[in-house]
Amino acid sequence: MKDVPVLYEDTDILVINKPCGIPVQGGAGISVCITDILARQTGSPVFPVHRLDRDTAGILLVARNAAMASRLTRAVGSKDVIKRYTAICAGKPPRGEGCITLPVGKGRDRKPAETTYRLLEAVDGYSLLQAELGTGRTHQIRIHFASVDCPILADDKYGDFPLNRRVRRDHDIRKLQLAATEIVLPPGFGIPERFSIPLPPHMADCAAVLGFQPR
């Protein structure tokens, strides 16, 4: 397994660029995960302090010791850490920017959720959207964008399945078009406060095929 790209590293913190298709942590039926790769790569255990879905690429904060894991987890939980994502979606949202507050979960487990979005570009029935999380529920962005008729391309759980099949056939778009592209930390950690990445290769290819010109 290839090493995970590292955006920043010191004795307490790693900031990595997680590839699409690899879960962050292990579990039943999982043979490869980010924590195991990083443990081999760095020679010591690591502690992810927030989640990215298996199929979501992008920036992930990882602590290298329990004390920093506790500090970063508190910062993430208190909303002092800003997380922004970029998605390529079918359709166009009702407004150029807005806030989606649909609760996320099933039955009694439904919890408040908040996603702020901004339309970056629209081309021929597709949208390039930026999302900022106010909460961190499982699959939140995927559920919220689907709820406003802008399902993320290649989303095999909440997406437009006939469209997914069509773009797979016509353009070989197979991977979820969602990435964590920016993270902003509060002062006090002794590291750069802002990290950003361009679209990962599978999203850059999709954007080019569909005619977007992301800046």
Name the residues annotated as catalytic.
Answer: 53
For the chain, give the number of residues: 215
C-alpha–C-alpha distance, residues 130 and 181, integer Å: 9
User: Hey, what amino acid is at 92?
Assistant: K
Count of other CB atoms within 10 angstroms of residue 4: 19
C-alpha–C-alpha distance, residues 138 and 55, integer Å: 13
Looking at the DSSP bridge assignments, the partners of residue 15 are: 8, 61
Cβ–Cβ under 8 Å, residues 115 and 132: yes
